[in-house]
Structure 1
């Protein structure tokens, strides 16, 4: 199965892409949710098997990506345990 991991931040979607294992695993940087939805549609059209999202997407962002894919592939998003809330706030607040 092929899968992709989308990360959201200060990225240029056209340039910030990588693939390993002959393209079976891909990572794509996106600047915002609209770019993520476009990338997800592109991935679905190319036959990707699964999409994982970084934690910046949250549940609502994941739902938008699922809608963008027409619910054709599994989409997950990264979460963390509540005991690390403070650490995550500190790490991603800047």
Structure 2
């Protein structure tokens, strides 16, 4: 199975991507916002990617929008963390508008 990991930040999807790792079984793509993530997810689904994982900054609502963008044809998950780690994440990502 092939999968992709989309990371949200100050990225350009055309430039900020790995060609592949793991012998072609995985890719990482940086996207600047949710619309770009949805466009990347649609393209990946069309290419036949097997699964998409999202960084935690997408949250449940962003993950749902990416799922909709793929037409629900492939599994989409997102990274999360334990609530007791919230202060550490706020400190690590102070400028993140999605920060808890």
TM-score range, shorter chain: over 0.9
Structure holding more helix per residue: 1
Tell me if 1:40 matches 2:41.
Answer: yes
Aligned residues: 94
Q: 2: CA distance between counterparts of 1:30 and 1:89? A: 21
Please tell me the root mean square deviation across aligned C-alpha atoms, in Å.
Answer: 0.7
| Structure 1 runs not aligned, ≥5 long | none
TM-score (norm 1): 0.97
TM-score for both structures, normalised by structure 2 = 0.91
Residue deviations 1:63-94 (CA, integer Å, cap 9, x gap): 00000000000000000001111101111113
Task: Look up the match of 1:30.
Answer: 31
* Structure 2 segments unaligned to the other structure (5+ residues): 96-100
Normalized per residue, the structure richer in strand is 1
